[in-house]
Amino acid sequence: MSSPNNENEIDTEKKEKVSRNFIQNIIDKDLEEGKYDQIVTRFPPEPNGYLHIGHAKSILLNSGLADEYHGVFHLRFDDTNPMKEKTEFVHSIMEDVKWICGDLDSEQIYYASDYFDSMYECAVKLIKKGKAYVCDLSAEQIREYRGTLTEPGRNSPYRERSIEENLDLFERMRAGEFEDGSKVLRAKIDMASPNINMRDPVIYRVARINHHNTGDKWCIYPMYDFAHPIEDAIEGVTHSICTLEFEDHRPLYDWVVNEVEFEHPPKQIEFAKLYLTNVVTGKRYIKKLVEDGLVDGWDDPRLVTIAALKRRGFTPESIRMFMDLSGVSKANSSSDYAMLEYCIREDLKMKRPRMMAVLDAIKLVITNYPENEIEYLDVPNNQENAEMGTRKVPFGRVLYIERDDFMIEPPKKYFRLYPGNEVRLMNAYFVTCTDYITDENGNVTEVHCTYDPETKSGSGFEGRKVKGTIHWVCAETAEKVEVRLYENIVDEEKGVYNEDGTINLNPNSLKVLENAYVESALAEAEPMDSFQFVRQGYFIVDSKDSTKEHMVFNRIVSMKSSYRVK
Ligand code: ATP
Ligand code: MG
């Protein structure tokens, strides 16, 4: 007979087994069979743009596996195509990966371009084995000869060149004797293969482009499908994890590592990309938004680049939680953006002080409170986390409250301020509305009330009950700030793209509030400090535009959640 305790233990064990993803299962099996002494994984970005949340998935998946199996994780810049690459991107990627992973040692950082010599040697080896040839067909002819999905390709007239001639021509390609595009090196595989990637793919091309790492040393550059497996093999990568679109390239990957005769060939495993509902993740599209000036750079808080998520106030912990919840799979699907919001709320809930800020202010005058007096109330920094201590919050005769916390003619079930009604001012006193003032358009400009000194928060007052509690800031000491509220940059209703392929922008994706006040303690906040503003959500001091004189707060996420944990 087993005790309930034991059953629980077994249950947890079983659950852990069941919830292992398919990649963990593959690695478990490989280790059981004694295939590897140590697991090596890598994240191989091409430095041609900023990283986005999809890349974060790949970073966390790869580094997480290395951690779990006490292996090694490499950040490798896949910088073999100098046409689109820039050092600006190398720097931003390095920073982003470090932010997501915590940190990286310098010995974890690799550059594919450091292997150009080895790649050249690998190509020579293939030629010597009769597995590669120099081809003079133009790009267009190569395309024509390649055939289609339903028709086999045709052999190039240069396919049967002798090994000697190929070695000579390839060396002369390297020496710069031929024009860009005039000759390529091709793998000699099978022009009739049902997999088009196997129809004698180009593996080297002539291109006179300055490279950010190797300068003008090379005028021939390897193609991705040839370079990538060699990079993995050189670094001793055991499991080369990539996204589904490379599934059809796997036979070529295997062909390269086998023909080059690496002793411990890496294994390619594909998983489904991370997609988010109503969010543009593709590097190409983000680049277009940036280049067309539709957003404030790569780190515009409405984007989901890692730089933008950081500026918006997301934390590495929240992103990690999101990736854990969204799982790893072989089938394409979209994750809910609301789940990401749920994760950041969960992460910040206990860690950040809960402050008072009024986003659209009107004055509240307490007519029976002494003029020119400020008292300091003791307020807990986080009601759910006593360790965060308390602070002194100034209170006076004139306060700011939210415009929508007062109504002249309230509907049913409105428990906030209206003429004759009593509410609690959060952390302070009960007040009863006695009057209000409007401007010539009928807009309320000031609300008047009286307070009951007996009802001070924390005084143990047990008298009347009130149904509404509203937040406030002391007008005399408050700091006027700019607040930015964000919505998804694409319109949820209309879909991501217009018929003509342009991005369907949401005109309300950025809303700037100019009539916002925060309690005085927040005037000390530094860029990247984040807080809960009670009843409003989580906010961060903007790292780009906020100054001591003109503070700018970004809303990370509101308090309301549409996401339910299943
Ligand atoms: P994009 O698809 O945005 O243009 P990319 O694939 O061109 O990005 P790379 O620099 O080649 O960008 O990607 C580096 C790594 O990140 C690759 O292993 C790629 O498979 C992975 N990756 C890219 N997008 C996603 C995604 N949405 N989800 C998971 N992994 C991704
Ligand atoms: Mg890519």
* pLDDT single digits (tens) 181-227: 999 999 999 999 999 999 999 999 999 999 989 999 999 999 999 99
In a domain, 214, yes or no: yes
Final residue of a structural domain among 229, 246, 271? 271
Residue 45 beta carbon below 6 angstroms from any ligand 1 atom: yes
Could you report the per-residue pLDDT of 63-85, keeping only the tens digit for each? 999 999 999 999 999 999 988 87
Average pLDDT for 138-167:
97
Question: What pLDDT shows up at residue 200?
Answer: 98
Separation CA 194–CA 215 (nearest Å): 39
Q: Confidence class of residue 562 from pLDDT cuts 50, 70 and 90?
A: low
Specify whether the CB–CB gap between 252 and 198 falls below 8 A: yes
Specify whether the CB–CB gap between 344 and 428 falls below 8 A: no
Q: Ligand 1 centroid to 461 CA: how many Å?
A: 59
Residue nearest to atom 2 of ligand 1 (CA): 282
Q: Which atom of ligand 1 is nearest to the CA of 274?
A: 28
Contact residues for 260 (Cβ-Cβ < 8 A; gap 6+): 122, 125, 126, 230, 233
Separation CA 345–CA 557 (nearest Å): 7
User: Would you give the distance in Å from CA 312 to the centre of its chain?
Assistant: 11
Q: For residue 340, which of 380, 363, 373, 313 has the smallest C-alpha distance? A: 313
Could you report the per-residue pLDDT of 486-495, keeping only the tens digit for each? 998 887 777 7
Q: Ligand 2 centroid to 242 CA: how many Å?
A: 9
In a domain, 475, yes or no: yes
Residues 146 and 192 in one domain: yes
In a domain, 113, yes or no: yes
Question: What pLDDT shows up at residue 257?
Answer: 98
Q: Which atom of ligand 1 is nearest to the CA of 45?
A: 10
Cα–Cα separations (whole angstroms), residue 29 to 64, 234, 254, 392 = 18, 23, 20, 59
Specify whether the CB–CB gap between 316 and 375 falls below 8 A: no
Higher-scoring residue by pLDDT: 218, 499? 218
Contact residues for 399 (Cβ-Cβ < 8 A; gap 6+): 363, 364, 366, 425, 472, 473, 474, 475
Separation CA 100–CA 539 (nearest Å): 20
Separation CA 475–CA 65 (nearest Å): 53
- The number of distinct structural domains making up the chain is 3
Residues 326 and 454 in one domain: no
Contact residues for 332 (Cβ-Cβ < 8 A; gap 6+): 244, 272, 273, 275
Q: Ligand 1 centroid to 374 CA: how many Å?
A: 56
**What are the phi and psi torsion angles at 390 (to 5°)?**
-130, 170
Write down the number of H helices and E strands in the chain: 13, 27
Q: Ligand 1 centroid to 373 CA: how many Å?
A: 60
Residue nearest to atom 10 of ligand 1 (CA): 45
Cα–Cα separations (whole angstroms), residue 56 to 272, 318, 556 = 14, 12, 18
Question: What pLDDT shows up at residue 6?
Answer: 46
Question: What pLDDT shows up at residue 4?
Answer: 42
The closest ligand to the CA of 54 turns out to be 1
Residue nearest to atom 24 of ligand 1 (CA): 54
Contact residues for 32 (Cβ-Cβ < 8 A; gap 6+): none
Average pLDDT for 524-544:
98
Q: Which atom of ligand 1 is nearest to the CA of 282?
A: 3
Residue 269 beta carbon below 6 angstroms from any ligand 1 atom: no
Residue nearest to atom 7 of ligand 1 (CA): 283
In a domain, 6, yes or no: no
Specify whether the CB–CB gap between 221 and 181 falls below 8 A: no
Specify whether the CB–CB gap between 452 and 429 falls below 8 A: yes
Higher-scoring residue by pLDDT: 209, 6? 209
Q: Ligand 1 centroid to 147 CA: how many Å?
A: 29
Question: What pLDDT shows up at residue 244?
Answer: 97
Q: Which atom of ligand 1 is nearest to the CA of 49?
A: 10
Is the pLDDT score of 242 beyond 80?
Answer: yes
In a domain, 281, yes or no: yes
Residue nearest to atom 15 of ligand 1 (CA): 45
The closest ligand to the CA of 272 turns out to be 1
In a domain, 403, yes or no: yes
Question: What pLDDT shows up at residue 18?
Answer: 54
Q: Give 3-state DSSP helix, strand, coil % of the chain, rounded to 5.
A: 30, 25, 45
Residue nearest to atom 23 of ligand 1 (CA): 55
CATH number of 344's domain: 1.10.1160.10
Question: What pLDDT shows up at residue 282?
Answer: 85
Separation CA 532–CA 505 (nearest Å): 29
Question: What pLDDT shows up at residue 560?
Answer: 84
Final residue of a structural domain among 318, 348, 378? 348
Residues 283 and 208 in one domain: no
**Token pair listed for 163:** 């090994």
Residue 54 beta carbon below 6 angstroms from any ligand 1 atom: yes
Question: What pLDDT shows up at residue 371?
Answer: 94
Q: Ligand 2 centroid to 245 CA: how many Å?
A: 9
Residues 256 and 137 in one domain: yes
Is the pLDDT score of 416 beyond 90?
Answer: yes
Residue 283 beta carbon below 6 angstroms from any ligand 1 atom: yes
Q: Ligand 2 centroid to 282 CA: how many Å?
A: 10
- Residue 459 CB neighbour total at 10 angstroms: 10
Average pLDDT, the chain: 93
Residues 29 and 99 in one domain: yes
Per the structure, the complete domain to which residue 469 belongs is given by: 354-557
Residue 47 beta carbon below 6 angstroms from any ligand 1 atom: no
Contact residues for 79 (Cβ-Cβ < 8 A; gap 6+): 46, 47, 85, 90, 111, 112, 113, 211, 212, 213
Q: Confidence class of residue 14 from pLDDT cuts 50, 70 and 90?
A: very low
Higher-scoring residue by pLDDT: 254, 463? 254
Residues 358 and 335 in one domain: no
In a domain, 13, yes or no: no
Diameter over CA atoms, the chain: 102
CATH number of 265's domain: 3.40.50.620
Question: What pLDDT shows up at residue 7?
Answer: 43
In a domain, 250, yes or no: yes
Most trustworthy range by pLDDT among 280-289, 299-308, 483-492: 299-308
Question: What pLDDT shows up at residue 565?
Answer: 56
Name the E strands within 207-247: 220-222, 239-243
- Residue 424 CB neighbour total at 10 angstroms: 17
Residues 257 and 399 in one domain: no
Specify whether the CB–CB gap between 406 and 444 falls below 8 A: yes
Residue nearest to atom 8 of ligand 1 (CA): 283
Specify whether the CB–CB gap between 400 and 358 falls below 8 A: yes
Specify whether the CB–CB gap between 513 and 482 falls below 8 A: yes
Could you report the per-residue pLDDT of 85-144, keeping only the tens digit for each? 788 899 999 999 999 999 899 999 999 999 999 999 999 999 999 999 999 999 999 999
Residue 284 beta carbon below 6 angstroms from any ligand 1 atom: yes
Q: Is the pTM of this model over 0.75?
A: yes
